[in-house]
Each structure stands twice: as C-alpha cells, then as structure tokens.
Amino acid sequence: MGKATGFMEYERKDGPVVPEKDRVQNFKEFHQSLPKEEQQKQASRCMECGVPFCQAGCMISGMMSGCPLHNLVPEVNDLVYNGLYEQAYERLSITHSFPEFTSRVCPALCEAACTCGLHAGPVSTKENEKAVIEYAFENGLVKEPAPTVRTGKKVAVIGSGPSGLATAQLLNRRGHEVTVYERSDRVGGLLRYGIPNMKLDKSVIDRRVKLMEEAGVKFICNANVGMKEGEGAVDVKDLKKEYDAVVLCCGASNPRNIEAPGRDANGIYFAVDFLKEVTKRLLDGDFVKVPYELAKDKNVVVIGGGDTGNDCVGSCIRLGAKSVTQLEMMPKPSETRLPSNPWPEWPRILKTDYGQEEAIWKFGEDPRIYQTTVKEFKKDKNGNLKEVVIVSLESKKDEKTGRIMMVPVDGTEKTIKAELVLIAAGFLGSEKYVTDAFGVETDGRTNVKTTAGKHQSSVKGIFAAGDVHIGQSLVVRAIAEGRNAAAEVDEYLMGYTNL
C-alpha cells in the first residue's frame, strides 16, 4: 500500500497549527491542513506491512489497539497517495459514519498501532482521513441516502451523541422510522457540549445533522426521557407503547465528585457543566459575545488530567484566566515507552496537549502538578471559593484488596489561590433515573448490562450503545458501538440484518 519506499523517503509532517498567541484570542479550530500534494506524500508512507495492526481494533492489556471501526486504513491511504479522493471517501464510508468528527477529536488509535511508528513517525492516518472527508463535503460527495421503502417499524434513540447519531443513521438507511430524543437544546450530545469549539467546530455537527434530517431522521430536543415531571419530561411508558425498539445512547454522564471540606463553596463546577455553559453561550451569542465573566481574572484549578481537563485549561485561557493549575492524581508518565508497555499497546507516555501548550506559552510553565489532589476548599465570609488546600499523593497497596491506591502524604499540604475550580475527574457511569425508568439491569459500574459483545438489555426491545453501555470512552468507540447496535436492533425487528 502506498509508495513502496515512501516511509524511507519522507518524514512525517503534520498540518500547520495556528500559534498560541493567535489562537487563544478566539474559539476557532486551529489545526490546519497540508496542501493536497503534500498530504499525498504523507499517505505514501503507509507501508506494505503484512499485518495492518492499525485497523485491528482489539483490546490489549485492557486498552484499545487500532481502530475500533476497523477502517480499511492501508487501502484508504493508498487511494489518497494516488490522488483518488472520491474512491478514498467511498472506501472510508464502508466502515465509518462520521470521519469529520474523529479526524478532529480522536487520539488516533490507528496511528498508535502503526508499524511505521515503531522506528519513525507513524503514518498520519488521522490527517489523511480529514483530507478525504473535507474533500468529499467540498465536492458534494457526502450524501445521506433516504430509504425508498419503509419497513413500518419505529425506533426511538435516546441521546444524540456519536453513538446515538450512528445508530440513527444506519437504522434510517435500513428503512425504519427513527426518532432521536435529546435532553439538551441542540443535537450532538458531548460532541456539542462536551468538546470545545476549537477542537470541533459546531458547524461540522450541524451539516451532518441537516443531511440526516433530510433523509428522514427526526430529532426532538429539550426532551428528558425518564424524568417523571418538569419541563421536557418524557414518560418511558409512552415510548414503549409507540416504538418497536428503544436504544439507550445517553452516555456515562454521572460525574465523579471530589468530596472534601468546603465542597459547597460557590465557584466549584463539574467540568462538563462548565464546558457546556461556555459553548452554549458562544452559540447563543453567535460567537460574537464571549462569556469572559466565567473565568476572567480568576485563579483556576482544574482537577483531572485527561482530555476534559485539558479542554478546561484551553477554555479558561481563552476566557482570560489569571492563572491555571491542573492537578493530576497519578505519577508523571514516562516520555518514552517502558518495557512493560510494548507496541502495539496504546502508549502510556507523557502527552502535552494544546491546553497545556497554551498555558506554558501564557504563564511560562506547565500547569500540571502530578500526584496531587485537593484536601480542602476554603471560602470567604460570603461562601465564595478563595483558596484550595492541595496535598501530595503516594501509591500504597491496599492489604485487603491488593489494589494500588493513591493516598495523601501527611505534611505535604499547600494552600493556593483559587476562585474557580473545575472537577474533571471522569464519570461513574449511567444516570440512575434513566436506567430505573426503563427497568434495565446495570453492572457494577452502573453501565447497562448486556451479554458480552451484545447490546440487548435485560428488558426485551431495549438496547444500549456507547458510554452508557461500555463506560466513559472515545468518540470512535461510541460510533462503533452505535453501528453494531443498529445491526442488532435491525435483526431484532426484521429477523435478519443487512447492515
């Protein structure tokens, strides 16, 4: 695949990135593309490696290795190298519902498992994918086929995130009548409100949703399924009567809290609520009015070191924060692979993402403090947050369970100023009111329980896909979940499936 000697002739080259001093002035996407000819050179680096681990999409040591969608990576790269972008789009569309999302926000599991990456930079599969899908949109190639024959079956999809959209897309193509219920005011789930605009411009979501609507998918926003009363409440009993199948794609949206004295202080928010507020205000103001008042001139502490924590750092810098500190419970990762983390496992190495890069540019140092958490939140006489007491952590083995735990180290407490704290400590699983309303069984992590590898819940006709099924994960895994669930629902409704 590609040029036989391409990986030896060309070094990896990524698309240009807008400099920090310019990009923090707005919430626009800042990753730019290479010229078409240069992108073809990058695609030529794809090796004829025999076993394409990039498209394996399997779990190794508890981590996903390669693309969960099983995209035909070498074939797509070869077509890009030869300048056959239309054919590349057709090939990519066989396995992928929304390349425009993953080519912006995916951590590129395919590249982490790339054979070329063993000794040099991996093939830039993610940017190749973006070049293909954007070419397809620019040239009118992206269509959403409306079925010529309807089956007479009706399906409700609860949640319009990546898994819900993928489920709805395929079931509608099959001819079922699909209605998507979304509790927020706009379609997209965490694509809309959990990922900042500078990573995923919301117009990218809108253009895809428009195509799906034109093909017959119905979207109902401000619809809180499972809530018994209040504005937007939707009774589950009515859904079960109206629809032949229901697919729960409502995410793992129960945030993990930080229980510490002073937690009731004003100025402490869950990260996902903060990010949603920022994006909603930007959208409501057509990106002309920026909600600087949310963070301007404030000392910000972000608790959590993952993608969401990084997004909070980048957002607060754009909102004029006075300082940003990011606390990570775990030790600082190695800068290179350790022997205990061999290829093609996902590399557990130090990553400095865009938010941290911007903090280093603005404040002169990495915002991250490792092996640290908050011991106490301090508030002023009016109940407003003014400081946090942080404490160092060390790893110790729990004698009862054998698990390694991160425990506070006495005498390491420090007090730092903070008027805004954002808790980005992950999610605990599904929201109880939803699973209770549908009467489905959940597992020990409160995910909807199903047979391994399947999507049918304990209640006939009720299926689950995405984070509500597998726990907090990646957009690409959610899309794969949605596609697989659609096939299972189709078989349930029709006795067979051609999805």
In tens, the pLDDT along 217-240 reads: 999 999 999 998 889 999 999 999
DSSP secondary structure string for all residues of 73-97: HHHHHHHHHTT-HHHHHHHHHTT-S
Instruction: Give dist(CA 181, CA 196) in Å, integer.
Output: 22
Check if 6-138 and 257-425 are the same fold.
no
CA–CA separation, 339 and 337 (whole Å): 7
Exposure string of 143-170, with b = 16+ CB inside 10 Å and e = fewer, is ebeeeeeebebbbbbbbbbbbbbbbbbb
What pLDDT is stored for residue 1 in this prediction? 65
* CA-wise closest residue to 129 among 39, 3, 4: 39
Q: Are 336 and 349 in contact (CB under 8 A)?
A: yes
Residues in the chain: 499
| Contact yes or no for 226/438 (Cβ under 8 A) | yes
Question: What is the rounded distance in angstroms from the CA atom of residue 467 to the CA atom of residue 480?
Answer: 11
* pLDDT of amino acid 403: 87
- Read off the DSSP letter of residue 115: G
CB atoms within 10 A of CB 210: 12
Alpha helix segments (H runs only) across 215-257: 236-242
181 sits in the region (left: phi over 0; alpha: psi -120 to 50; else beta) called: beta
Which stretches of the chain score pLDDT less than 50? none
CB atoms near residue 371 (< 10 Å): 18
- Tokens 């979207």 found at: 219
* Helix, strand, or coil (residue 422): strand
- Span between the terminal Cα atoms of the chain, in Å: 28
Rounded to the nearest 5 degrees, what angle is found at the Cα of 318, between the Cα atoms of 314 and 321? 90
In sequence order, the 6+-apart residues with CB closer than 8 A to the CB of 101 are: 162, 191, 200, 204, 205, 475, 479
Q: What is the CATH class of 257-425?
A: alpha beta
Q: Which residues pair with 328 in a beta bridge?
A: 370
Which tokens hold the place of 75? 């074939």
DSSP 470: H
Alpha-carbon dihedral angle through residues 30, 31, 34, 35, given to the nearest 10 degrees: -40
How high is the pLDDT of residue 418?
A: 98
What CATH number does the domain located at 154-253+428-494 have? Answer: 3.50.50.60
CA angle 272, 275, 276 (to 5 degrees): 85
Strands 224-225 and 233-234: parallel
Four-way CATH pick for 6-138: 3.40.50.11720, 1.10.1060.10, 1.10.10.10, 3.30.470.30: 1.10.1060.10
Q: Read off the pTM.
A: 0.96
**Tokens representing 371?**
């092996």
Element (H, E) at 225: strand 224-225
Query: Which burial class, exposed, middle or buried, applies to 204 when counting CB atoms under 10 A from its CB (0-12, 13-18, 19+)?
Result: buried
The residue ranges of every structural domain in the chain are 6-138, 154-253+428-494, 257-425
Plot region of 320 (φ>0 → left; ψ -120 to 50 → alpha; else → beta): left
Number of helices (H) and strands (E), helices first, in the chain? 18, 20
The SS3 call for residue 59 is: strand
CA-nearest of 486, 497, 499, 490 to 153 is 490
